[in-house]
Structure 1
Amino acid sequence: MDALRDPPRRERFIPPCLGATGRHSPARDPSRDHSASRLSEPKQGIWSRVGSRTRSALTVGLRSLSPPLAGGYYEELEELLVAADLGPAMAATLVAGVRSRSPRKREEAIDALVAVAAGVMSKKPRELNLAGNPACILFYGVNGAGKTTTAGKVAFRLREQGRKPLIVAADTYRAAGIEQMVAWAERAAVPHFDGSSGADPASVVFDGLQMARKRGHDVVIADTAGRLQTQRNLLEELGKIGRVASKALDDEHYESLLVLDAVLGLTSLVQAREFNKAIPITGLVLAKLDSTAKGGAAIAIEAELDVPVKLVGVGEAIEDLAPFDPAAFIRAIFH
C-alpha cells in the first residue's frame, strides 16, 4: 500500500492524555463495555429547549383545532402536521393512526398522536457502534451541514469518557477544511492526522486507520468534504471512502453518519435518500436542532429510511451534543 502514502501527510499531535484545561483525562475503565456509546445524557430540560420552536407552532395549533368528534378535525390536523414539515405522506399516516384510536377529547387525540409518532420511528440501536480495533466513525453530508463541528464535539466527548480518539481530516479539497478540522481537534485536545491538499481522501482515511492501529488509538473520527446529493462523482468518491475504510478495518462494521442541517427540515429527506444510495447510512446527526421550527422532519426521515437519528447538535459550544431520545423529543414537540 506504499502508493497510498503519496503525497505525504502532515501529522501534528496533541498529547492525548491532556484535556482542554490541561488536566489529565480519566483513564479508560477496562471493566466497562466500550463496544457501544451513548456519549453522555443530555442536560435536564434540553428537549424542551430543542423542541421549543417546533412546539410553539404545533401545540398552539393542536389546542385550537376543533374537538376530535367535530367534523373537519382530522383534515385540520393533517394540514397542521404538513405545515410542521412532516410532509404529506407522514401527516396522512399519523392522522390515520390517531383516527383509528377514536379519541373523544383534544388531550386524548394529542396522546394518540404522540403514541403513533413514536411507533413510526426507527427501532434500530441509537448507540454509536464502537466495536473494532480501532472503531471508526465516518462523517459526511452537504456543505455547511455541521460535519466538522460534530466530529470535534464527538471527539471531545469520547476523550472525556476515557477513550483515545484520533481525528482524520480527509477534506482534502479545501485547505480551509483541513484547518477547520485541525482547530476543532486542538480545541478537543485530541490528536489528528490530516491529509495534504489535493490528496485522495480514501487514501487519507486508510492511512489514518492504519496509523491509529499502530499507535493505540481506539476510535478514528474521519471528517470528509462537503458534497451535494446531486454531485454523482463526489457521491461515488464517498462510496469509495466507505469501501476503503471497510478494507482497512478487515471488514468490521463502522459508523457511517450522515450529518443533516435540521434547519432545512424535510429538504433533508431528499439528501438522505441520495446519500443512502452511495453509502449505507448507519445513523443520522441532526445539527442545529435548537435553531429550527422544522424538527418534525426527523419523524418523516426516520420512518422512510429506517435509519435512526443518533446524535443532535443543540448549540455552538463543544459540549452541545446529545444522544437523540425519540420519546422525549416527540413529547417535547407535541405537548
Structure 2
Amino acid sequence: MAADERNAFEVYRDRVDRPLGRLFREYGASEAHWLVVGMAANVVARVAGLIPPVVLGVAIDAVFTGTGPYTLPVVPDAWLPTEAGAQFRLSVLLIFGSFIVTGVFTYVYGITANNFAHRVMHAVRTDSFDQMQRLDMTFFDDKQTGEVMSVLNNDASNLEVFLDNALQNSARLGVMLAGIATVLVYYNYELAIVTLAAIPLMFLFTLWFMRAVEPRYVAQRSVVGDLNTALENALSGVELVKTSNTEAHESERVEDASFSYFKRTMSILRLNYVYRPGMELLAGLAFAATFAVGGFWLANGPPGPFTTELTVGTFVTFVLLTQQFVAPLAEVSNIIDQYEWTTEACTHPLY
C-alpha cells in the first residue's frame, strides 16, 4: 500500500521513535518533581513492607527458639536489647511501625504520583486539541469525526491509565523485587539461588510475550477508529438513515466494525491467557521450590552442594518474602497491556 493511500495516523505512527520517551520529555519534565517525590515515597513504603518478615524471622530464632542472635540488617548490635522480653517488645514495635510507615508513604506516593499523571494529562489534552485546531481542512476532509474523537478521548484515557496505574505498579514491582532479592541473598545466598532461579525465566517469557503481542495491539488499535466512525456516522445521520430506510445497512456496518474489533481483542486475550497463568506458574514454582528445599534443609541439613546453615527463622522469612512477589508478578500482563496501548496512543500526530 502506498504511503499516500494509507491512513494519515498510520503514516505518522511509522515515523515516531520512542513515543513514551517523547511524552516524558515534552510533558513530564516540568512536573518531574512530583514524580521524584512519589518514587522516593514508593521506595520507603516498599522497604518498610519488607520489615515484618525480617523481624519475625529474627524473633523466632533469637526470642522463641534461642538458636540465633538478635541482629537486624544495617542496625548496629549496640542499639539492640539483649534481654528476651525487651527484644520481643522491640519486635512488636518494629512490626507495628513498619505498617504505619508503609501506609503513610503509600498515601504520599499515591497523591504525588497521581498529581504528576493528571498534570501531564491536562497538558496533553489541551495541547492535542490546540494541535488539532491548527490542522488544515484537508485533514478533516479525510478523517471522520469518530477517528479524531478516538485520538482525543480514547488515547488520552489510555495515557492516563498508564501514568496512573502501570507506571506506579512497575515501580512498585521493581522496588519490591530488588528489596526481596537483597534480603534473601543477605540471609542465605544459597537458598536465594533456588528462590530467584525463576526470575530469568520470567524475564525471557515476558520478552517473548511483548514481541508476540505488540503487532496484535497495533491491529486492534487500527479498527478502533473504524468502529467509532461507524457509530458516529450512524448517530449523526440517523434522520437520513430513517428517511432512506437504510437501518439494516447501517446495522451491518456497525456489526462488521464491531466484529473486527472483537477478533483483534480475542487475538490479544489468547496470548494473555497463556502469559498470565504462565507467570503465576513460574512464581508458584519458585515458592514451592523454596518451601521444599528449605524444609528438607531444616530436617536433614544442607542438601547437595549447599553448605550454609539454615534456621527456622530464616526459613520463615524466605517463605513470607517469596509469597510477597507471587501476586505482583502475575500482574505484569496488565502492565504490558497498558504499556502497549499507551505506546500506540503516543504515536498520533495530535500529540
Interval of TM-score (by shorter of Structure 1 and Structure 2): under 0.3
More helix, by proportion: 2
TM-score by length of 1: 0.24
More strand by share: 1
For the pair shown, which has the larger CA radius of gyration, 1 or 2?
2
Taking structure 2 as the reference length, the TM-score comes to 0.23
